[in-house]
Structure 1
Amino acid sequence: MKILYLALCVFIISGCSSKPPGIEPVDNFELSQYLGTWYEVARLDHAFERGMSHVSATYSVLPNGKVKVINKGFSEQEGRWLSAEGLAYLPEQGRGYLKVSFFRPFYGAYVIFVLDQEAYQYALVAGPSRNYLWLLARSPDLPHAIRSELVWRAKQAGFDVDELIYVDHQSEVIKHQE
């Protein structure tokens, strides 16, 4: 768990907290609809999630109005579940843009630039640069047509989709170790 926290801290400290150029958050964003668990379907590789499977993030609102974020995944290298708890807030009401911190006072950009705004079932999220991309969904898998559309939209936005890692959520052995 310390390794995950350290890696997340390095990301937040080294990354800037602004949006990547040309990536705009969705409008008409409803935080209440975004709350709950999201599964990581695909991501660009980075040190703080390298070798992790069964990755998910759960969002809930705290009494002070900030958002609690719990990231969880199975480290294949360590053979165990790791989790990190963070804090987020919306700097722009009504837009899919959060500032997220796993090591306060440093906050990083979390830009929801594609979202199924009817049902909030899938999203594309960027970090502070085009080196950070997550394809998220309410279930561990997406229909092929939707996944292909999201990958195409990420490519159009300038992300290197050939480098996407598709996250394993199928391994039954690991699921039972939770």
Structure 2
Amino acid sequence: MTAFQLASRPFRPLLLGLACIAVSACVGSPGPVGNIAVPTPAKPVAIDAYLGTWFEYARYEAPFQTGCEGVTAEYSLRETSGDARIRVVNSCYKGGLDGPFEQSTGRAKIVDGTGGAQLKVSFFGPFYGDYWVLDRGEVGSDGAYPWSIVGEPSGRYLWILTREARPDAAKRAMLEARVRELGYDWSLVRFTQHATPAE
């Protein structure tokens, strides 16, 4: 997922955007509602299997993420005694794959009683935004989930994450079907560009 911290450095539009989600008061127009009835996450999420690097396969476009390509999110455990024990590092290339590299670091905490599927994420002081893992694949031989679909209660924001930058056709079809089953308008999905791997 991408994020929300006021800053004078890179990622400010993106950071401000999700800070606004957290406090429910944005300047500018949010995206359209793509799901009027976002379901509560149905599967538990083992945080150890969620850690690591994710590639953003697709998303609902939002003003604070306009122009971001090559988007990744990296989750790791923080050395802290508090409840915000997950470190989140969001990265993208602004304006295209040849654009400037931008990165921001935040923190996340698990919402009690949700089986790890609902988190609160902050890149902006005390303000936290909702992060719901609506669905995810089964743990693979590497001990990690291979894909996840992330949303939040308003239905305006959606992120589809995979462990590879370019999922194969079968996985793409499965993800589209699952997103539709969750009630999202697929016509609003915007695919994220990633660099072609070196041969």
Q: Which TM-score applies when normalising by structure 2?
A: 0.76
Q: 1:38 maps to what in 2? A: 54
Checking the alignment, whether the CA contact within 8 Å between 2:131 and 2:151 is kept in structure 1 is: yes
Q: Deviations over 1:71-103 (max 9, x none)?
A: 100001793111121110111363311111111
Larger mean CA deviation between 78-87 and 57-66 belongs to: 78-87
User: Among 74, 86, 97, which residue is 2:118 paired with?
Assistant: 97
Q: Which runs of 5+ in 2 are unaligned?
A: 1-9, 26-35
Q: 2:191 maps to what in 1? A: 166
Q: 2:21 maps to what in 1? A: 11
Percent sequence identity over aligned pairs: 31
Q: 1:83 maps to what in 2? A: 103
The residue identity in structure 2 corresponding to 1:161 is W
Pairs aligned (count): 169
Q: Which runs of 5+ in 1 are unaligned?
A: none
1 CA distance for matches of 2:15 and 2:156?
Answer: 20
Checking the alignment, whether the CA contact within 8 Å between 2:17 and 2:64 is kept in structure 1 is: yes
Q: Deviations over 1:9-41 (max 9, x none)?
A: 2233227xxxx8541224332101110110000
The residue identity in structure 2 corresponding to 1:86 is G
Larger mean CA deviation between 91-100 and 52-61 belongs to: 91-100
Moved over 2 A (4+): 2-15, 92-95
The residue identity in structure 2 corresponding to 1:76 is G
More strand by share: 1
The 5 Å alignment of 1:1-178 reads 1=10, 2-14=12-24, 21-64=37-80, 66-76=85-95, 79-92=99-112, 94-119=115-140, 120-170=145-195
- CA displacement at 1:5 relative to structure 2: 2.9
| Secondary structure of the structure 2 residue equivalent to 1:38 | strand
- CA displacement at 1:170 relative to structure 2: 2.2
RMSD across aligned positions (CA): 2.3
1 CA distance for matches of 2:192 and 2:146?
Answer: 17
- CA displacement at 1:106 relative to structure 2: 1.3
Larger mean CA deviation between 51-60 and 154-163 belongs to: 154-163
Larger mean CA deviation between 47-56 and 24-33 belongs to: 24-33
Q: Which TM-score applies when normalising by structure 1?
A: 0.85
| Secondary structure of the structure 1 residue equivalent to 2:14 | helix
2 CA distance for matches of 1:128 and 1:100?
Answer: 14
- Pair 1:92–1:148, CA change in 2 (3 A): farther
More helix by share: 1
Checking the alignment, whether the CA contact within 8 Å between 1:86 and 1:100 is kept in structure 2 is: yes
